[in-house]
Amino acid sequence: MTHTNLEQIAVESVATDDSSRATRKKTPGAVSRVLIGLLATLTISLSGWALRSWRQESVEQLHSQCRRLSAQQEWTALGRVASQWSAREPQKADPWLYLAAADEGLKDWPKVIQHLEHVPRSDKRAVAALVRKSSIEFETLDRPWDGVHTCDEVLRLDPRVLIAHKQSIFFFAMTLQRAEMVRRIRKAISIRRESPESYVYLVSASWLYNGSLYRHNTRWLKSGPESELFQVAQALQVYTSQAKTDPEHAAEFEHIPTAEELLKKYPHNLELVAYFLNRTITEGDLDRVRELLQAVPVEIAEKDCRFWRAKAWCDDAEGHPELAESSLRKAYSLDPYWWQVHFQLYDLLRRQGRTEESAKFFAIYTKSKALSTEIMTLNRSVESLDSTKFCRSMLELAELVGDDAVATVLRERV
């Protein structure tokens, strides 16, 4: 009905205008022309005012209805009304937010994120909407890459949004994209928007296989069953926990290929090769370690401290301590927090009789190992972390390894 009136009003207004123009041609007196002009102006003004009033009233009605329907959790009706509103005011945030609320009530998640996407970025609620969107993408729709992109958009709008840092760091941690994870952690630290778990991930950047890898990657694989990234991250928790050889759990992980099978499938996968490197070093298979070092493109491998550590092991085993030291120091520069590199540097220098330098790295190892042990004994959740104590220890370690960027921020924190 409203819509019909609006149309009638528009038609009448145009007809009046045309007839005045015709009259003016017949009686072009000055007074008449002024009167006609005034009348026309008045008419147009009144029409505009009427239209605006009608529209305002209509939007208020829509808003009011949306509020009511939302409170009553009448999601279908809310969706209908909000849809009308959004058609009328697509540049406004509210109708999209109500639409999103309606579809969230109906659990139509793909539509929810569509609606949230429409929230104008200029609106002060855009950040909250996008944060909600990323949560749905990560946790409900299992579309983590979309979640990451949304987080990135959030951070472009406001780099101070803690949750966006947390979510994206978590994703890169859970998918074992360690270099990107560290880059994001350091970015968050530099703008003081890091959370305590950022430091947990930073300290464990080169060695941690989180206890939730299997669970999250199994979910995320739904969004891309052929995803190498998720397959490898999922499998690595199974391998590192030795779940496949545990009779109590073996059946549960029967569908996971063996590590050897997966490596055959993805022979150049960074994480998989790094896993085998560690295993093969422990087994003392020098030739195999050399082979594995070549399996990953050099430009990727040389940015990964695990490969430098492996090379150091080869150097050492072949009787080249000076090369081993050089490789270990490179590993140390790439990840100053990895306790195993600290230990190996201590061990290598000790064997060369360089007691003082060795003692320095032993002190670092003692601290980093203690922190790592604390991480390993967290009850599967960083929430159980005593963040004050942890940050204090982290500060000591950051100072020991000379990581000023981290130490400066931690000093403020503790």
Partner 1 sequence: MMPTTCVIRLDALMLGLLLGLSSGCGSDQGNSVNVPGQSADLEITAPAASKRIQAAETSLSELGAAQSAPEAVVATIHEIAFPSFEEVAEPSGLSFTYSNGASGRVLMVEATGGGAGWLDLDRDGRPDLYLCQGGDPATDCRYEQPLDQLFRQKPSGAFEPVTESSTIVEQSYSQGVAIGDFDDDGFDDIFVTNVGPDTLLRNQGDGTFQDVSVTAGIVDALWSTSAAWGDLDSDGDLDLYVCNYVDYDPYHPLPCGSEGKPGTCHPMHVEGVPDACFINHGDGTFSDESQARGLFGPGNKALGVVIADFNNDGLPDVYVANDTTPNFLFINQGSGIFVESSNAFGCAVSRDGLAQASMGVAAGDFDQNGWLDLYCTHFTKESNTLYKNLGVTGFQDVTGLVGLHTPTLKSLGFGTVMKDFNQDGHEDIFVTNGHVDDWRSKGDDYEMQPQLFSYEGPRFVECKFGAGDFFSTKRIGRGVAYGDFDVDGDWDLAVVHQNTPVAILQNTSSRGNWLKLRCIAIDNRRGVGVRVVLHQEDKVLTQVLAGGTSYCSSHEGSLIFGLGDDSAVADLEVHWPDGTLQRVLNLAVNQEWVLRQMPNGLSNSEMQYHTEVFSSFDVGRENNSDVLPDDKSHRTNQVN
Q: Which stretches of the chain bind partner 1, using CB under 8 A?
A: 242, 245-248, 281-287, 290-291, 293-294, 298, 301-302, 307-308, 311, 314-315, 317-320, 323-324, 326-327, 339-340, 342-344, 347, 350-353, 355, 362, 365, 369
Measured from the CB atom, the residue of 119 and 305 that comes closer to partner 1 is 305
> Which CB, 287 or 404, lies closer to partner 1?
287
The one-letter code for the residue type at 132 is: R
Q: Which is nearer to partner 1, 56 or 355 (CB)?
A: 355
Question: In the complex, what is the shortest distance from the CB of residue 229 to partner 1, in angstroms, rounded to a whole number?
Answer: 23
* In the complex, least distance from residue 269 CB atom to partner 1, rounded to whole angstroms: 17
Q: How far is the CB of 248 from partner 1 (least distance, A)?
A: 6
Tell me how crowded residue 254 is: count the other CB atoms within 10 A of its CB. Answer: 9
Query: Least distance from C-beta 318 to partner 1, angstroms?
Result: 5
Question: In the complex, what is the shortest distance from the CB of residue 209 to partner 1, in angstroms, rounded to a whole number?
Answer: 15
Specify the residue, 266 or 365, whose C-beta has the smaller distance to partner 1: 365
Q: How far is CA 2 from the centre of its chain?
A: 45
Q: Which CB, 86 or 327, lies closer to partner 1? A: 327
**CB of residue 298 to partner 1, shortest distance in Å:** 4
Which of 163/179 has CB closer to partner 1? 179
